[in-house]
Structure 1
């Protein structure tokens, strides 16, 4: 049946109303996101200077970079200086030596430091992933499968998460650590060692793995440790500083919460932000992003990981201790309990 003239104005009015409603919805959405992009509890007064040591080439530093570049630190009254290092271990050393206030650092380096009686406090975890550690080998050196690592020279930074992952990976292949030759290098030296043929393979983490594999071209083979190690990336400082500056810790956590949310929710913008520092293309980062978990928390799994790594460290003589520390004594709960109480699952 054809429409009558009297029906047409009603349909035009209906369409106009729908269009107006859609426009208002879009405006409301933009307003809400704009409000969420700005921390709700901005702090007035002079900015407090903080030095944060981090591996800026590692994707786990995204919450720190975002908090600095998007003004989340400033909104919390913090003037953050990001100090660049090649590993979490080096970042933590900067804190231990008094050159930085806080460090971003994976669980293994924390376990080793605490085993060796360093008075460190962990204030939060900011990032987790299961696919950023692994091994890159040279096919022309007969590295073709995990089993073929037997008898090979493997470059690694001893006492780091790369070393731990390599050890566990070999164990999964029913290989003993003594069945390979581990050669100690700084993280930034591993690629050159592989290129020169000083070693048959290297063990480490991203972005070094992809960079070193690309340098080898079709000659590279990569084995990831996603079934043997979850990287738990944390913020830690000296215990005295942390306990004496509770408001500073709270402000730091609020800024990092905003940074982590940005990295988690705004994938395109976040990958564009960190791409230059991590030396990886935006397309590659976006493809890998689903395996990244950004957010601030203190999870019981952190304690379990630290204890497991302590057993490994004691077995490998990285400490003179024979007992496992009470890691709860090295976790500062008050800040997270105030800022994100629902994200604290550590039994205390």
Structure 2
């Protein structure tokens, strides 16, 4: 009798166990079926940021690297590039609301301050002394810098090229009145000097190299080393920057990674930058070691802006007579949050 009860007890437990196993298997099957049939939950869309910039210019390497190597995407943003041939044009795109951010040299920032435009620099991303200069025609008697006196010089007015020309002439004991300046867009320089419309052109890379290539043995170059240090910056409207502090930090973190890539992987970074470019960049390999790809906010930026404002006022390029406080045109919070050691601006 005890054995019969024991067998009955085991049988009942086996039935219960089988029933539980069946239910569990059924639930797993239904779950798998539902997962296969149900649409997957979409991932959060990447935040879009439009940057007005000149991708032909080597100073944009950190932007190119951040986009192509996935540093922007890692931060949850997708960057759309709006192409311009000068920082002046990129600044205008930002002012007109056509772009969220723009890359500019210090001169457009200086003029924005004089004109009291509500923009701010969020970081300097590139520095060099070897990307500005003057290209001259030998057949017009230009063999040395002093020969620029009395010549027609192409330049994009109110840009870093304009400032470089003024500083360069000053080094030769000349003034802007000793030359005839003719205003061109940067992309028009090569044709203008090749046709002989001008005797020389003051500009920046890659336009300098393009003009030299077009002129061949008839071209001569004077570079602005020790005359002008290019400070390449990222700017935005204050209203956008103040309303999107987290986005600004994401952009800065990605650009910092991009800058490190451009510094640490020069061959790969150069190949990435040169890919698909219209201009001849064969001379960049030798110059790359002189480029400083670094994200920061340096006191030197404020000093440069003040010097340039004095130049603009003296040469009557503005109707303003007082130098603004350029600290008001720098956004410190972003850099101080992501890389405080790179902020040396006194404030």
Question: TM-score range, shorter-chain basis?
Answer: 0.7 to 0.9
Q: Which structure would you say has the larger Rg? A: 2
Matched with 1:31 is: none
Distance in 2 (alpha carbons) for counterparts of 1:164 and 1:333: 26
Distance in 1 (alpha carbons) for counterparts of 2:289 and 2:303: 25
Matched with 2:244 is: 245
Residues 225-244 of structure 1 show CA distances to partners (whole Å, capped at 9, x for unaligned) of: 11100000000000111011
Indicate if the aligned counterparts of 2:206 and 2:281 stay in contact, CA closer than 8 A.
no
- What is the correspondence of 1:192-207 to structure 2 with a 5 Å cutoff? 192-207=191-206
Indicate if the aligned counterparts of 2:87 and 2:105 stay in contact, CA closer than 8 A.
yes
Matched with 1:174 is: 173
1:332 counterpart SS class: coil
Indicate if the aligned counterparts of 1:271 and 1:282 stay in contact, CA closer than 8 A.
no
CA shift for structure 1 position 279: 4.3
- What is the correspondence of 1:129-208 to structure 2 with a 5 Å cutoff? 129-208=128-207
1:296 counterpart SS class: coil
Residues 248-270 of structure 1 show CA distances to partners (whole Å, capped at 9, x for unaligned) of: 10000000001111011100100
CA shift for structure 1 position 284: 2.4
Indicate if the aligned counterparts of 1:129 and 1:291 stay in contact, CA closer than 8 A.
yes
- What is the correspondence of 1:66-77 to structure 2 with a 5 Å cutoff? 66-77=65-76
Distance in 1 (alpha carbons) for counterparts of 2:47 and 2:293: 25
Indicate if the aligned counterparts of 2:252 and 2:335 stay in contact, CA closer than 8 A.
yes
Indicate if the aligned counterparts of 1:58 and 1:278 stay in contact, CA closer than 8 A.
no
Matched with 2:110 is: 111
2:255 counterpart SS class: helix
Indicate if the aligned counterparts of 2:127 and 2:292 stay in contact, CA closer than 8 A.
yes
2:294 counterpart SS class: strand
Matched with 2:343 is: 344
- What is the correspondence of 1:208-219 to structure 2 with a 5 Å cutoff? 208-219=207-218
TM-score, scaled relative to structure 2: 0.86
CA shift for structure 1 position 280: 5.3
1:118 counterpart SS class: coil
Aligned length: 305
2:331 counterpart SS class: coil
Alpha carbons of structure 1 residues 179 and 283: separation in structure 2 relative to 1, 3 Å: closer
TM-score, scaled relative to structure 1: 0.86
CA shift for structure 1 position 176: 1.1
Distance in 1 (alpha carbons) for counterparts of 2:313 and 2:239: 26
2:275 counterpart SS class: helix
Alpha carbons of structure 1 residues 283 and 138: separation in structure 2 relative to 1, 3 Å: closer
After TM superposition, the runs of 4+ consecutive aligned structure 1 residues lying more than 6 A away are none
CA shift for structure 1 position 318: 2.1
Distance in 2 (alpha carbons) for counterparts of 1:272 and 1:280: 13
Alpha carbons of structure 1 residues 282 and 200: separation in structure 2 relative to 1, 3 Å: closer
CA shift for structure 1 position 72: 0.6
Indicate if the aligned counterparts of 1:207 and 1:279 stay in contact, CA closer than 8 A.
no
Alpha carbons of structure 1 residues 332 and 130: separation in structure 2 relative to 1, 3 Å: same
Aligned residues: CA RMSD: 1.1
- What is the correspondence of 1:47-62 to structure 2 with a 5 Å cutoff? 47-62=46-61
Do residues 79 (structure 1) and 73 (structure 2) align?
A: no
Unaligned stretches of 5+ residues in structure 1: 1-43
Distance in 1 (alpha carbons) for counterparts of 2:58 and 2:106: 16
Indicate if the aligned counterparts of 1:59 and 1:278 stay in contact, CA closer than 8 A.
no
- What is the correspondence of 1:212-231 to structure 2 with a 5 Å cutoff? 212-231=211-230
Indicate if the aligned counterparts of 1:133 and 1:162 stay in contact, CA closer than 8 A.
yes
Indicate if the aligned counterparts of 1:67 and 1:255 stay in contact, CA closer than 8 A.
yes
CA shift for structure 1 position 276: 3.0
CA shift for structure 1 position 117: 1.2
Indicate if the aligned counterparts of 1:129 and 1:230 stay in contact, CA closer than 8 A.
yes
Residues 273-294 of structure 1 show CA distances to partners (whole Å, capped at 9, x for unaligned) of: 0113554566522211111000
Distance in 2 (alpha carbons) for counterparts of 1:273 and 1:228: 30
Distance in 2 (alpha carbons) for counterparts of 1:277 and 1:337: 35
Residues 143-169 of structure 1 show CA distances to partners (whole Å, capped at 9, x for unaligned) of: 111010000000000000000000000
CA shift for structure 1 position 73: 0.6
